[in-house]
Each structure stands twice: as structure tokens, then as C-alpha cells.
Structure 1
Amino acid sequence: MKLRIVLGLVLMLASPAWSQPSASTASDFERRMAAAARAYEDLDYEHALGEFEGASVLARDDGERARVAIYRGLVLGDLRRRQESLAAFRAGLMLRPDARLPVKVSPKVARDFENVRREVQRELARNPRPPSDAPRAVPDAKLAQTPAPALVPSAGAEAEVRTSRSTQVLPLALLGASAVLGGVGGYFGLKSRGNVSDARAAAFYSDRQAHLDSARGQALAANVLLGAAVTAAAGAAITWFLADRTPSPRAEVSP
């Protein structure tokens, strides 16, 4: 009984349905490509793109992947999605630089395809790609180089250096913020004065009131910004003074 079970399993594994999965994958790929080509000929571009997406998953080598990419470029070109079409052409030609257009297309799409081919050929001439079946060299592991103990500064010295750098940057940042805030505040102040002048010259009460309301809001914004600018400038002066009074850190290295 056990011998019959083992013999049945061996025959099942040796049958074509179990021993030739690659043939099934190839036939599925060709079926998806044929369906996509029919949809493309029927001008059903969205259906064609969906079939090409499925075919790209089933593609087994660079040649099949290049076919899918170039066909997608044709469909996208007919849909006037030119940048996507050029990207698809480039992807296909990078895999197969000698590929040709599978069907007759409009002169504009054919011209785009040939332009992309020339760009790819120039790029490959500068940086040739290794064959897809070429063995890839594994880079040697680099030994970690431990510096000599005498050249390694202590953690406290590194922290002091970082603190010193931050205290030098902070005053400059505050001073820059003060300049920006002062400039914006001055702009709003000028706008407020202009609205006051317009209100004095206005002939109608409604116009005069509108100018005065704008002037009040702009004056408030100018006062807030100028106050912030003064505060930032004061902070810059204080931090700069404190940084100057702090002794400069020195990293001592023991022999």
C-alpha cells in the first residue's frame, strides 16, 4: 500500500502539469500580450494598459520586459501622455537598445522613440551596462579602522564643541530674524501711512472709513513686527555677549 502511494506521488510530480511551470508562465505572458495588442488595435487604451501591467508581472527576462515597456510607450503616446510615454520608451530601450517599434505609429510617436533611442545609446556608450547574465562581484568587506586612542577626543570635548558652535549660530540667526521682522514691520508702517493719506483725500465717508480701517490693521501689524524685531535684536546681543564671555573649549589629548 505504501509503495503504491509513493509511486503515485512520483508520477504526479513527473507529469507536465507539475514539471513545466515555466511553459505555463510563458503562455500566460503571451496571452496577456495578445489581449493587450487587440485592445490597442481597438483603441481601448485603458484596457490595453491594464493588460500590459499584468504582462509585466509575468515577464521572465529583459526581452519580454522591454516588449511590455515599448508597447506601453505607444499607448501612452496615443493618449498624449508624452512624458510617461518617453519614460516607458526609455525603460524598454535600456533593456534592449536594438528594439524596434512593433507596429506602425504616428510620425510624432516614432520620432520620440528614435530620439529616446539616441539618448540611450549615448548614455550606454558612456556607461556600458554589464550583461544581464553576468556574475556580479560582491564587494570585499572593509575592515573597520579604529583610530589610535590618542587621537580620539573625549565625549565631553565633543559636546563642548557642539555647544560652542550652537552659541555662535544663535546670535546670527536672531539678528537675521530681527532684520526680516523689522523690514516687514516697516513695510506695514508705510502702508498704514499711505492709507491715512488716502483717507484724508477721500471724498466719501465710506471710502474714508475703509482706508482708516486698513490703516489701523496695518499699524497694529507694524507695531507687533517691530516689537518682535527689537526683541530678536536684544536676544542676539545678549547671546553674543554671553558667548564671548564663555571660555573657548579645548580638547586635551593624553599621550
Structure 2
Amino acid sequence: MDLRIVLGVALMLVSPAWSQPVAASDADFQARMSAASRAYEELDYEHSLEQLDAAKAVARDGGERGRVAILRGIVLADLGRRQDSLAAFKEGLSLLPDASLPVKVSPKVSRDFEEVRRNVQRELARSPRPPPDAPVAMTDAQLVSVPSPGLVPPPAQEEVHRTRSHPVLPLALLGGGVVLGGIGSYVGLQSRSNVNAAREDAFYSDRTAHLDSARGQALAANILLGAAVTAAAGAAVTWLLTGDSPSPRTEVSP
């Protein structure tokens, strides 16, 4: 069977399945945040914190992590843990400096939130981030000396022979994709196992430990699965582009 057909079938089989966690992650994050808000409104603070831990584990970017941190700060403030609340507000506002409080809070919590915002804005003003289009200074190592034209030796005569190359790169990419996919699937199962274990634990510290492990494993699984899909796609594209074209082999004669 033609190797290109095998690569095409493998890509069609793995790509939809491995792209599902990305779409499911967004829905899962929104569901967790909604559940955390409902639990807070019902004064079930422990359950709200659990849902926020789960939402942070599936957050895809800094904006979503900032939303989690701000709501966590509100819950911690109602629990009387003011220092932890201020730290959570700082984390959230560092990621989302213009964010507002997502739920109605007491005047004291609102004052703390705005005070943290002012402190974060002062810190950002002291250490501004460079714009993405700022020029990059060239180091000495990047300066390459150009030899004088008179010192350049004449090019040697070359004889070019056309030979057909073996598809080593597509096979290597496909094999790497399969390995990464297997490892990513295993880590994802471990993450799900830790989430289930956190739900069954009776103590909050144990639940937090399991959820922290699940969060790291979920991130690693997403990275591995994304790399696997990229490797499989690269294998297919590389084979289609280079499978039938001969590659030059150069022999230099003096």
C-alpha cells in the first residue's frame, strides 16, 4: 500500500479526536466558572473554590486565568482570608488590569479590589513592557564579517547527479506523532483520575493537591497532543511535497 495513503488515513483518524480537547476545554471552563458563581451566590464557598480550581486547570490563556483569580479573591474575602484575597486580586489584575468585579460585593471588598488595581498599575508603569514591534539590538555575535572579493576562492566545478531520496523525514515525523499522542493520552487520563480523586476526598487540602496535579497534567497533555497533531500533519505534508521529487546529490571535482 502507498505510504501516502497510510499517512492520509492516519491523519484523518487522529486529527478530529485530538482536536476535541481544545473545543471541550472552552465549554468546560465556562461551565466551571458558572458553577463557581452559583455556589458563591448560595454561600457555598468551599464548592465555589473547588470549581475555580477546576476552571484554572482548563484555562487556555492569561485572560481566563485572570478571571479565575479575581473570583477567587472575592470568595476568599467572604471567608475572612483577606491576605489571600489581596494576593488573588493582584494575580488577576496583573493579567487583566482593566477587569471589573464579576459579582456584587461589599464596599470593603470593592475598596480592596480598587486599591490592588492602583498598586498593579503603578508597578506596570514602573516596568512597562516593550511593544511587540520594538527593534531588537544586534549583538556582536550576530555581526558576520564579509570577506574581500579578492580573497574569495573560485568555486569548484560540480557535477550534480539526481537520485531518489528515501522518505526518512515523513516516517520520523509520523513515528514522533504517534509517540507524543500516546504519552499525551496517558497524561490526560492521569489528569482526569486526579480530578475524580479530588471529588472523592473529604479534606480540602487533599482535594487541592489532587487538583493541582490535575492542572499540570492537563496542560502537559494538551501540549503533547498538539505536538502530535502537528507532527502527523507535517509528515503528511512532507511526504506529499517530497515523496515523488528526486533530490540532488552533489559531487565536487577539483
* Max Rg structure: 1
Higher strand share: 2
